[in-house]
A = this chain, B = another copy of it.
């Protein structure tokens, strides 16, 4: 939705530097191939042919087929590092709800649904893809949240956040599970926000993490 465009996110067909246009064309072609053929039957060569570019150019922008898959998750022009870095600018005790709003603004749209569907199918279809996909999330999305947290147990916290965010996206956006699928985004953010807040900054109080967490009381 146009009203939901965030800083760092550009509209799909706006003015873009030439390199970004090429990258976008390759990514579009890849998403179409994944959707039509599935991850396993899609090749870098086929993506290049569809995008009307040389396979070497595809490899210039993307390390592998799995990298193409992962890049397809994030809307064109949106840099997760910039967007998620902004979480650190506001009050610490509202991070959970702000993260929920951010996630819904990016993926709770028709385009987001298509992206999620494609990427999830691909991630499920073959182990190597799932691995690279998770690596990509680690480098971009998770890394950004962890750096905002700056806590010794940030990895566990971010993985827990991912469990709720992925589940919310799959049930509300991809599968359309009612009645949550029809609730206004604001309500969903308020319902799920406290979960994310606890995972981000709460006292998790589990085994090995117990000592560390004493500095993150709610």
Which residues in A have some Cβ–Cβ distance to B below 8 Å? 38, 117, 120-121, 123-125, 130, 133-134, 155-156, 159-160, 162-168, 170-172, 174-181, 183-184, 187, 190-192, 194-195, 198, 204-207
Contacts and interface: CB of A to CB of B under 8 A. Distances in A.
Q: Is the interface of A mostly helix, strand, loop or mixed?
A: helix
B167 A155 contact: no
5 contacts: A134-B177, A156-B179, A156-B191, A163-B171, A167-B168
Tally of this chain's copies = 2
A159 B179 contact: yes
Nearest to A137: B177
Contacts of A178: 155, 159
Contacts of A124: 117, 120-121, 124, 174
Contacts of A162: 167, 171, 177
Contact of A121 (B121, B165, B206): B121
Contacts of A187: 206-207
A91 to B, nearest CB: 19
A213 to B, nearest CB: 11
A168 B168 CA distance: 11
A166 B176 contact: no
Contacts of A133: 175
Nearest to A142: B177
Nearest to A124: B121
Given A166-B170, A191-B204, A123 B179 contact: no
A156 to B, nearest CB: 6
Contacts of A167: 162-168, 170
